[in-house]
Structure 1
Amino acid sequence: VMRADRRVDGLAYARASVGGDDATQAVLEICRRLDRRDINALLLSGAAISWFNIIDLVAVFEEVSRPLICLTYEESEGLEKYLREYFPESEEKIERYRTLGGREKIKLKTGYELFVRVHGATVEEARILLNKFTLDGRVPEPVRLARMAARAARKVEEGLASGSE
């Protein structure tokens, strides 16, 4: 959780399986663990995490009842080709991917462009919010911090699993 003044005011973790179908529940678990009514918006860095574990953005938005902004950083042809290749039996995964819909390109005050999927706000409102939280480059501070925290937690977990501390 990052406040508007960029102070970190909360942190929670959840686990999503590699290649699984539990990313939506992992995001919702984080929201439940935080149990914060003062959160005004959610930022997600991508809708396909942990090797094609696709987040159902509509389900997250409907449960948290807060604007949701899902970011991606590159133009692409999409993932459907890879989903069909790696998960040929999973029409459900492909359909979940299709329901993500298109992305809108926005330009930040830093001069960088990124792509957003927005629920519960306009693309312009998303751009304004992202500009408030992006100090340089294209990655907003809450996302940058979440990445660092996740990497640090993973290193600790890997160290414990290998028997070293």
Structure 2
Amino acid sequence: SYITVDGLDATEKLIEILSGWKFDAVMLAGLSFGGFNIIDPHEVFKHFRKPVIVVSRTKPNNVAVKRALQRHFADWERRWKIFEKVAPVYRVNTVPPLYMEVVGVSFSAAVKILKAEMFVCRVPESLRVARLIARGLSGSGRNQGL
């Protein structure tokens, strides 16, 4: 399934892709995909009644995000509301730290889910493998020692 670059269809597409699958939680590597096509974790949670955990390897800079949205999108307020609803950002004590936002689960339960997925490095295995696959499919992983 494809999403539109800078579109508003990522949430709908994710729900479509996950429908029919059995899972215990949804883990996302950030909120923005395909530029600023933003997944609304609250909508995903509402649809599936499963925890949504948004993981970032660097601390999200929401001031910069808001500025970029204001500068580039007439509908910036609609997109920004998704970021506002998901706050706060939690720091996970890994080396170096991870950051996460959670919907439908407590911080401590989300940390347990993350730690159960950390086999190779601090990034949960499902996100690490998904990133490798995406890079391979897009061609951006070529000749980079992956």
* TM range, smaller chain: 0.7 to 0.9
Measured on the aligned residues, the alpha-carbon RMSD in Å equals: 1.7
8 Å CA contact retained: 1:18, 1:51: yes
Q: Residues 16-165 of structure 1: matches in 2 within 5 Å? A: 16-32=3-19, 35-37=20-22, 39-78=23-62, 79-108=65-94, 111-155=95-139
- AA aligned opposite 2:12: Q
Deviations 1:29-55 (CA, angstroms, capped at 9, x unpaired): 2202xx123x11111100111111111
Cα distance in 2 for partners of 1:56, 1:118 equals 12
- AA aligned opposite 2:99: F
Following superposition, the deviation at residue 138 of structure 1 comes to 2.5
TM-score (norm 2): 0.84
Say which is worse superposed, 85-94 or 65-74, in terms of deviation. Answer: 85-94
Deviations 1:118-162 (CA, angstroms, capped at 9, x unpaired): 12211111111111111243211101111122223334xxxxxxx
Say which is worse superposed, 57-66 or 112-121, in terms of deviation. Answer: 112-121
Report the identity percentage.
26
Cα distance in 1 for partners of 2:90, 2:110 equals 11
> Structure 1: 5+ residue runs without aligned partners?
1-13, 156-165
Aligned residues: 137
TM-score (norm 1): 0.75
Deviations 1:24-78 (CA, angstroms, capped at 9, x unpaired): 112112202xx123x1111110011111111111000111111111111212431
8 Å CA contact retained: 1:112, 1:137: no
- AA aligned opposite 1:36: W
* Counterpart secondary structure, 2:53: strand
